[in-house]
């Protein structure tokens, strides 16, 4: 099994899903957020660039307002407006405990496909790196409509990773990797290493949605395809154990690791 050297990971994108951030009752999982922030802060202090792509705005807003069940787009956008502020308040407080400054960036699909907006997003992210800031990215759910929405932050994280020419994308999930069957079923086995995303791998990932999140394993494999084709390594690990990111940086495989294609075979991501 191939192991990559940690020193190649200079720029890292970490995506965390709603199920890691929010309890089933809609309240923030503060202990989970603290573990994640501690790990990211330590990685940042080691001299690496880190972007955090976070979900959870709608779920947090629903928890604060006591709204349960499925909602229409109008209500979801209002919940996102409430929840995003709460999320950022907690993130800023937690990161400042470790001396790390953060910045909020809200994006839509249109922002990352439009030439001028895409360039501006790239400029902002890279300038924040110069200021030693951790950008916290989320989809702009308050204004997004079907035509300009990604719909899941796994894809958004992969697109952001390609935009800034990242070296590693880590998806924190309620499932600690890709399994041959849904993990709760008898005979399910974790797939620790994916050399190539084949139709068989894509088929395995279908139909694994959570109650709180908007994606599932299917969206994570889609993100892996975007990232690895751009020469970016990707890993899926359990959100309860963000310290597993250290193992990946040290060259130890955990969760499910997706091997990237050679950077030499891909186009330059930061040429927009």
Binding residues for substrate: 55, 141, 153
Contact 24/212 with Cβ under 8 angstroms?
yes
How many other C-beta atoms are found inside a 10 Å radius of the C-beta of residue 196? Answer: 10
Distance CA 38, CA 236 (A): 19
List, as residue ranges, the binding site. 15, 55, 141, 153, 173-174, 214-220
Q: Which residue has tokens 């502020």? A: 85
List, as residue ranges, the binding site for ATP. 15, 173-174, 214-220
Distance CA 98, CA 105 (A): 21
Instruction: Please give the distance of CA 4 from its chain centroid, rounded to a whole number.
Output: 21
Q: Which residue has tokens 């989809």? A: 139
**HSE-CB of 12 using CA atoms within 13 angstroms:** 24
Residue 168 three-state SS: strand
């Amino acid at each position: 099994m191939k192991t990559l050297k940690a020193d190649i990971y200079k720029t890292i994108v970490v995506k965390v899903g709603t199920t890691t951030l929010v309890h089933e009752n809609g309240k923030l999982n503060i202990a989970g957020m603290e573990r994640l922030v501690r790990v990211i802060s330590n990685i940042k202090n080691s001299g690496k660039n880190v972007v955090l792509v976070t979900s959870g705005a709608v779920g947090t807003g629903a928890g604060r307002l006591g709204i349960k069940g499925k909602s229409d787009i109008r209500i979801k956008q209002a919940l996102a407006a409430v929840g995003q502020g709460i999320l950022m308040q907690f993130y800023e407080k937690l990161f400042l405990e470790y001396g790390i400054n953060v910045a909020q960036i809200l994006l839509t699909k249109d922002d990352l496909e439009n030439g001028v907006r895409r360039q501006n997003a790239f400029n902002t992210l890279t300038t924040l790196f110069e200021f030693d800031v951790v950008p916290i990215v989320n989809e702009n759910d308050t204004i997004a409509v079907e035509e300009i929405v990604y719909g899941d932050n796994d894809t958004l994280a992969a697109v952001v990773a390609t935009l800034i020419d990242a070296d590693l994308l880590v998806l924190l999930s309620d499932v600690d990797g890709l399994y041959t069957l849904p993990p709760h079923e008898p005979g399910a086995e974790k797939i620790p290493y994916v050399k190539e995303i084949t139709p068989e791998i894509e088929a395995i990932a279908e139909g694994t949605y959570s109650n709180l999140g908007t994606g599932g394993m299917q969206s994570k494999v889609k993100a892996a395809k975007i990232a690895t084709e751009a020469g970016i390594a990707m890993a899926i690990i359990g959100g309860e154990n963000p310290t597993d990111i250290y193992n990946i940086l040290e060259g130890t495989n955990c969760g499910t690791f997706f091997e990237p294609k050679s950077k030499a075979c891909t186009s330059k991501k930061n040429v927009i």
